[in-house]
Amino acid sequence: MKDNYYRLGCDIGGTFTDFVLLNDHTGEITTGKCLTTPVDPSDAVEEGIRALEVTSPDFVEKLDELIHGTTLVINSIIERKGARTGLITTKGFRDVLEIGREIRYAPYDVFAEFPEPLIPRRYRIEVDERVRSDGTVIKALDPQDAQHAVRALLNMGIESIAVCLLNSFENPAHELMLLEVIEKEAPAVSVSISYHVLPQIKEYERTSTTVTNAYVKPLTGRYLSKLAGRLESIGFKGKLFIMLSSGGVTSVETAARFPVRIIESGPTAAVIAGQYYGKHFNIPEMFCFDMGGTTAKSCLIQKGVAGVVPTFEVGRVQRFMKGSGLTIQVPVVDLMEIGAGGGSIAKVSKLGTLQVGPESSGAAPGPICYGRGGTNPCVTDADLLLGYLDENYFLGGTMKLDKEGARQGIEEKIAKPLGVSFIQAVWGIHDLINETMAAAAKTHIAEKGGNPKIVTISAFGGAGPVHAYGLAKKLGAPRMLIPPNAGVGSAMGFFTAPRAFDLLRSHKVSLTDVAFTEVEDIFRNLEGDAGKILQKEAADDAIRYERSLDMRFVGQGAEINVSVPDGDFTKLARADIRRLFDNVYEKLYGRTYPDSEVEFINFKVRASLPERLLKLPRVKKKTGQSLNDAIKGQRPAYSPIAKAFIPYTVYDRYKLFPGARFQGPAIIEEKESTLIVGEDAGISVDDFGFLWIDLKEVK
């Protein structure tokens, strides 16, 4: 029997840090939650581990692996707290970060703002070199010119350097020369070259992604190094993994080298958990909804699969306007994120209307009811005053909430200025944040070809189950699924994520002209590089490779992804590849064009190790157990149907058993989250302890 049989998931959010401890021998799960420590996130990590040791003594030395997700990278970009970074680029391309795609996200708004580049213009240096699109050198890079460029940046006090030269994805010789010069001139300076970060066509996206990687690399490296050292100091000797934006997990070394890959590290995990549950219960369309203290994340999961997109934006100037942020070209789970959480601040807008979010009070000072110095009323304050939360059972009773302080705050800052009753103000905050999330959810579902009236809503996060019922009513969704330990859903998701890494390389060539031996060489090289990344964590496990191609009709500006069979590419026929392309294209657009030439743009490989999935334990009903055993009592809470406070029956989730059925209005409490169900819904418990809530049809 293996000595190290524990696995720990740790997700650092904007407000709370969540923990899930899994015993692989028994399947027992232990959870924990503590406030995030923004100044040093590793403080909260140690605090949470120490708290878990109370119920599971000495588990740290028996930990096989710790899987970690963090918002550190995305926050450092949004707050502009990264390193002083310089860029070395091809002569004539110094301004590509401003030029972008030359598209205005709001064409009729003459005052439309664009995000400031992460690197000011004075820190961008050009070198006189040129490579053709086919990789042949027009003008060779002079070693002295390379040296001068590097020294110029060093003299400006640069801490990290990004290198992105024209067409280097076809021929990286000049970038590799600059890398050698930087390592010789300043070995302590962090460096990111585009051939390693993103060897892909499209100059703006490649430059922006490489610059972002360089900008956060020193900070991420220091944080991960400090975290690893701190874990080691408390007795951890296992493997430390980091969650990737694409839904896989990777080693801490790889995450430190490519921090741009972990920008959406935390939000992705709940979606991966939802994907696992969707497959397990064979749910055709599931809307995964994760609402924490700062943001709400959601994703439509169709046929048990969450989509992965090749690009996304960070730090939008206009939160809902595509094109107003920094473009990042790395694979990321296709989720929607809005500023709606328990800590979202409610205020009176300049127009004299109620506004909730996107600003958040975070963990410090937090909502008024936290009693940590917060003065702005927040969503959690409203939820408490509506009777949905118990001030004596928040975080399982470890954190007492200040109900009177929340009442005074909403009365003074919302009700009186708006000239409305206290209950109108409190319900307005709760209902408005639900409306904001529902509007965004409808758009997201429609874009994916889904139908909100047939989806099953699965709720995660500390605030997710509190607001899931209201969201479902606004969407017209017929059913909700609330997993056990929903309040730490992201940390649970780490156990359902594969150990995987994605690599790609651009090489533009038509299907008619391509040599299949050349394609096989590209795939084998990518597999070799991906294999090296996974080698350290592979042990005796066999690495599995999945290949795909980004293809398009000649002359098009957008590609579609086509999966290709495993094995030697040279054994395939051109007609086979064309058939695969036409099938995907026709499915997406309704028709294809058999007489038009197609071309390859990107060659992609996903390397993965055998999955160590979470096995859902079955819950056993104890002899003589009845529903009355789970009832904690009743308390008045606001009903939007009755438009008044009515008695809600309060249940202890830990005492519910398989086969239990009951009707709302109900409040179901567990340590990390609380589920609210109205009087028009029925609740049932399955063999795995999941709660299924059926709602009456919304007309």
- Is there a single domain that holds both residue 91 and residue 165? yes
Total count of domains within the chain = 5
For residue range 259-289, list pLDDT tens digits in order: 998 887 777 888 888 888 888 899 989 999 8
- The confidence band for 104, taking pLDDT boundaries of 50, 70 and 90, is confident
For residue range 69-90, list pLDDT tens digits in order: 887 787 788 778 889 999 999 9
pLDDT for the residue 541: 62
**Where a domain ends, among 557, 578, 608?**
608
* CATH classification at residue 588: 3.30.1490
- The confidence band for 538, taking pLDDT boundaries of 50, 70 and 90, is low
Average pLDDT on 609-617 reads 73
pLDDT for the residue 246: 83
Across 524-628, where does the E strand assignment appear?
544-553, 560-564, 598-608
In a domain, 550, yes or no: yes
Q: Supply the DSSP symbol for 620.
A: P
Segments forming the whole domain that contains residue 107? 80-216
**Where a domain ends, among 383, 406, 431?**
431
In a domain, 298, yes or no: no
For residue range 554-582, list pLDDT tens digits in order: 988 889 999 998 888 999 999 999 999 99
- Is there a single domain that holds both residue 66 and residue 95? no
pLDDT for the residue 1: 44
pLDDT for the residue 612: 66
In a domain, 238, yes or no: yes
pLDDT for the residue 633: 93
- Indicate the pTM of the whole model: 0.82
- Distance in angstroms (rounded) separating the CA atoms of residues 532 and 282: 35
The closest of 6, 208, 33 to 670, measured between CA atoms, is 33
Alpha carbon distances (Å) from 89 to 191, 207, 518 = 13, 9, 29
Average pLDDT on 337-361 reads 84
Average pLDDT on 630-647 reads 94
SS3 238: coil
- Is there a single domain that holds both residue 599 and residue 561? yes
**Where a domain ends, among 185, 216, 247?**
216
For residue range 91-100, list pLDDT tens digits in order: 999 999 998 8
- The confidence band for 153, taking pLDDT boundaries of 50, 70 and 90, is very high
In a domain, 1, yes or no: no
- Distance in angstroms (rounded) separating the CA atoms of residues 529 and 1: 34
For residue range 50-60, list pLDDT tens digits in order: 989 888 888 88
- Given a contact cutoff of 8 angstroms between Cβ atoms, the answer to whether 39 and 294 are in contact is no
End-to-end CA distance of the chain: 57
- Given a contact cutoff of 8 angstroms between Cβ atoms, the answer to whether 437 and 296 are in contact is yes
pLDDT for the residue 699: 42
% of the chain exceeding 90 in pLDDT: 48
Q: Is the dihedral of CA 249, 252, 257, 259 positive or negative?
A: positive
- Examine the pLDDT at 676 and tell me if it is beyond 80: yes
For residue range 160-180, list pLDDT tens digits in order: 999 999 999 999 999 999 999
- Examine the pLDDT at 698 and tell me if it is beyond 50: no
| Exposure on the CB side of residue 443, measured as CA atoms within 13 A | 11
- Examine the pLDDT at 357 and tell me if it is beyond 80: no
- Distance in angstroms (rounded) separating the CA atoms of residues 577 and 464: 44
Alpha carbon distances (Å) from 346 to 290, 378, 396, 555, 662 = 20, 5, 26, 50, 35
- Is there a single domain that holds both residue 86 and residue 174? yes
In a domain, 442, yes or no: no
Angle at 57 between CA 51 and CA 58, to 5 degrees: 110
- The confidence band for 139, taking pLDDT boundaries of 50, 70 and 90, is very high
Alpha carbon distances (Å) from 289 to 269, 443, 455, 462 = 12, 14, 12, 11
- Is there a single domain that holds both residue 563 and residue 632? no
- Is there a single domain that holds both residue 603 and residue 649? no
- Examine the pLDDT at 44 and tell me if it is beyond 60: yes
- Is there a single domain that holds both residue 108 and residue 189? yes
Give whichever of 41-45, 295-299, 539-543 has the largest mean pLDDT: 41-45
pLDDT for the residue 102: 81
- Examine the pLDDT at 309 and tell me if it is beyond 70: yes
In a domain, 548, yes or no: yes
SS3 383: helix
- Given a contact cutoff of 8 angstroms between Cβ atoms, the answer to whether 350 and 343 are in contact is no
- Examine the pLDDT at 129 and tell me if it is beyond 50: yes
In a domain, 453, yes or no: no
In a domain, 280, yes or no: no
pLDDT for the residue 435: 93
- The confidence band for 34, taking pLDDT boundaries of 50, 70 and 90, is confident
- Distance in angstroms (rounded) separating the CA atoms of residues 162 and 148: 15
The closest of 521, 513, 509 to 135, measured between CA atoms, is 509
- Examine the pLDDT at 4 and tell me if it is beyond 80: no
- Is there a single domain that holds both residue 671 and residue 635? yes
- Distance in angstroms (rounded) separating the CA atoms of residues 435 and 428: 10
- Is there a single domain that holds both residue 84 and residue 183? yes
- Is there a single domain that holds both residue 550 and residue 506? yes
- The pLDDT mean for the chain works out to 88
- Is there a single domain that holds both residue 596 and residue 636? no
* CATH classification at residue 210: 3.40.1360
pLDDT for the residue 2: 59
pLDDT for the residue 136: 93
What torsion do the CA atoms of 433, 438, 439, 440 make, to the nearest 10 degrees?
Answer: 90
- Is there a single domain that holds both residue 603 and residue 505? yes
